[in-house]
């Protein structure tokens, strides 16, 4: 029971870490290549941010599967 809770906490912490890294990388590219106006801000909020959340959960899940698979 404690191991499962600890695993979930580590999983979500790792997911947040991946999201922050992706957010910073995307922000750098966004500032460099996307013109600033309200349309691009809405695009970033409603399309790009949810995609980053989805990608961070997918990468975190794949990382944990690789870690668990290498233990056996």
Spans of all domains in the chain: 15-67
Contact 14, 56 (CB under 8 A): no
pLDDT for 11-69, tens place per residue?
Answer: 999 999 999 999 999 999 999 998 888 888 898 899 999 999 999 999 999 999 998 88
pLDDT at position 70 is: 87
Taking 80 as the threshold, does the pLDDT of residue 71 lie above it?
no
- The tokens describing 72, both together, are 């056996």
pTM: 0.87
Q: Please, what sign has the CA dihedral across residues 71, 59, 14, 3? A: negative
- The tokens describing 65, both together, are 């599967």
pLDDT at position 68 is: 86
pLDDT at position 72 is: 65
What's the rounded Cα separation, in Å, for the pair 24 and 3?
A: 32
The DSSP secondary structure of 15-28, one letter per residue, reads: HHHHHHHHHHHHHH
């Amino acid at each position: 029971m404690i191991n499962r809770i600890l695993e979930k906490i580590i999983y979500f912490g790792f997911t947040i870490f991946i999201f922050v890294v992706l957010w910073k990388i995307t922000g750098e590219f966004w500032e460099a290549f996307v013109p600033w106006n309200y349309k691009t801000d809405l695009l970033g909020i409603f399309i790009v941010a949810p995609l980053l959340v989805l990608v961070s959960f997918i990468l975190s899940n794949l990382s944990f599967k690789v870690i668990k698979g290498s233990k056996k």
